[in-house]
Structure 1
């Protein structure tokens, strides 16, 4: 046996150290290798390029709401009403999504305060079937708006969705007018409805409650639109401008009121709720 083989054999007998697979991550925008713990401590924003990573409902609640908030129960709806199946049963897709996520569907609410201002906060999680809008999301939105009416406080929603949930067909599209009516109830009561557009917000969500707020805030670089860029470009047969459908482009063209860094989001929401909350006349 050669000396090289002896060395190789001795090295293979050493115990391997257990190293977590998710210790490091690569920024999807600039490619910088980031220590995962530091990335999370920076609110999942790349310290080099400022890219805002996608985060779940629990992280949003912790970042925006003051300590002591309460997560609201998700309303029950009929599951798989069309008995839909593609390569998998819709029921199986729901089961897999729930196993991988902490909440039962794409939209979850919590009640608490934001910088001392009472509010109901709804968060759409893109990790749950692309944040798609189905009957559960529509019913959750109405319930969140109803809780805001009952508490006489503002309603804030962070949107993130690929659009309507195709497995529920026309029933998913019916959530567009349903949620629109809920926003009108808030307006009639004089309660603020604030939308935080996060990456991505597209399709039927953009065409309904995501663009009906009293104030529209967008996170930097967020993709916001209805149809996809390739569909639009092929339809109008023109090259789209740089940054089209990104938060900064929409802000420059009057579709978004402000683009706010995640570190400043809580303070901005607290300020807006203070300005817009209904004042009782003595």
Structure 2
């Protein structure tokens, strides 16, 4: 392609045009539709042509669900490097890069607020922070959300978006699976509702623990949900997996999910669900 071309007797620099429009358009990875970025944002980052749900951040999810006036809490915790872990680069360097990229201390955001008239506690995972991996800070932050829900008897909602446990923290990461699961058992004993919302992707130890322990387990359309990834499973069993394996629709069909909810319908769905869940818990 020529770097320059003539239009209406003027020389136009294609490279400059590219720079001026860069970031204004997004191509849908599913249907290849080119979407004006502002239109995509107005549609909650869902493709208007095919319905593909783009990944979004934890703070945006909270903004979409809670009424104005909500409060972000438990943001002060920071991961350490107990193992002095280094692979291609030191873990401390990865943490600094992720903190700079996301503006968060770790891959989780807690919030307290209302969905409609219902007070709730939300923990939303941030996939762009080291793949939403669960280290000691993520586990402790979710545990604090559980404690808030217990103390105030408010329903808990965890929005998962994670590649699983954070290998850089070793056993300190894996301990969080039991820690959070034990906290959720206390919620169950107290008859306080817990809703698990799974988004793309929800995998590894997160799926093996709290993501699948909800009183209600729901997911966004076509979210990848599973323990090991499809490629690992195929290599292990040496068989081709069914079409759509480990996607939300497959899991719903096989009884692993209670519902699939479009992003635009999620807030109303949760509000309606909380209406009957809280009335039932109060009655009991």
Match of 1:279 in 2: 282
Q: Secondary structure at the match of 1:185?
A: helix
Deviating above 3 A after TM superposition, structure 1's stretches of 4 or more consecutive aligned residues are 10-13
1:95 aligns with 2:96: yes
Residue 102 (structure 1) shift: 2.6
Matches within 5 A, 1:90-239: 90-239=91-240
**What root-mean-square deviation, in Å, do the aligned CA atoms of Structure 1 and Structure 2 show?**
2.2
Change (3 A) 1:147 1:30: same
Tell me how far apart the structure 1 counterparts of residues 21 and 91 of structure 2 sit (CA, whole Å). 33
8 Å CA contact retained: 1:220, 1:260: yes
Residue 122 (structure 1) shift: 1.0
Match of 2:49 in 1: 48
Change (3 A) 1:221 1:12: closer
Tell me how far apart the structure 2 counterparts of residues 189 and 41 of structure 1 sit (CA, whole Å). 39
Tell me how far apart the structure 1 counterparts of residues 29 and 37 of structure 2 sit (CA, whole Å). 13
Residue 206 (structure 1) shift: 0.4
Tell me how far apart the structure 1 counterparts of residues 105 and 216 of structure 2 sit (CA, whole Å). 28
From the CA coordinates, give the structure whose radius of gyration is larger.
1
Tell me how far apart the structure 2 counterparts of residues 141 and 205 of structure 1 sit (CA, whole Å). 12
Residue 74 (structure 1) shift: 2.6
Match of 2:73 in 1: 72
8 Å CA contact retained: 1:120, 1:153: yes
8 Å CA contact retained: 1:134, 1:171: yes
Tell me how far apart the structure 2 counterparts of residues 33 and 76 of structure 1 sit (CA, whole Å). 39
The count of residues paired between Structure 1 and Structure 2 equals 275
8 Å CA contact retained: 1:75, 1:136: no
8 Å CA contact retained: 1:77, 1:135: no
Q: Which runs of 5+ in 1 are unaligned?
A: none
TM-score normalised over the length of structure 1: 0.92
Q: Which runs of 5+ in 2 are unaligned?
A: none
Q: Secondary structure at the match of 2:20?
A: coil
